[in-house]
Structure formats: structure tokens, C-alpha cells
Amino acid sequence: MKIRIKRTEECLQELETKYQLSTEEFITRFNNDELSHSFNFDEWIGESRMLAHLQQTKDSIEEIDFVD
């Protein structure tokens, strides 16, 4: 799980660097139709959603208490 989170974060960082936008700013501008559609933007949205899902899953797993 940690490896996939790291890879997703690296992918998002590459897109942020390429477009000089944070992921949060990108999503806001994309949702406001301020950016034209491109394949990279589909990837960016997908990776952003994947990271949120992976982090939520990781947090849920970490909250599990094992009882002997």
C-alpha cells in the first residue's frame, strides 16, 4: 500500500511541476471549466482520486485493533 501511495504522489508531483499548479488548484480550475480537456488532465484527476482512496484505506487499516 505504501509503495502505491508513493508512486501516486510522485505522479501527482510530476503533473504539478509540468503545469505549475497544485493538485487542489488544478481540480478547482478544471471544475470551473477554466482549463481545456486533455488526456493528462484525465490522468491527473484519476491519480488524485486514487491517492484519496489509498490514503482512506490505509487510515482505515491502521485504525484496526487486533485483540489476542
Residues found in the chain: 68
Number of domains the chain is built from = 1
Residue 33: the pLDDT is 94
Is residue 64 in a domain? no
Under 8 Å between Cβ of 48 and 27: yes
Range of the domain at 17: 1-29+37-47
The alpha carbon torsion through 48, 56, 59, 1 (nearest 10 deg) reads -60
Whose CA is closest to 23, among 33, 13, 31? 13
Is residue 65 in a domain? no
Secondary structure class of 52 (helix, strand, coil): helix
The one-digit pLDDT tens for each residue of the chain (68 residues) are 889 999 999 999 999 999 999 999 999 999 999 998 888 999 999 999 999 999 999 988 888 877 76
Is residue 19 in a domain? yes
Is residue 52 in a domain? no
Residue 1: the pLDDT is 83
pTM: 0.82
Residue 16: the pLDDT is 97
The C-alpha atoms of residue 59 and residue 66 are separated, in whole angstroms, by: 15
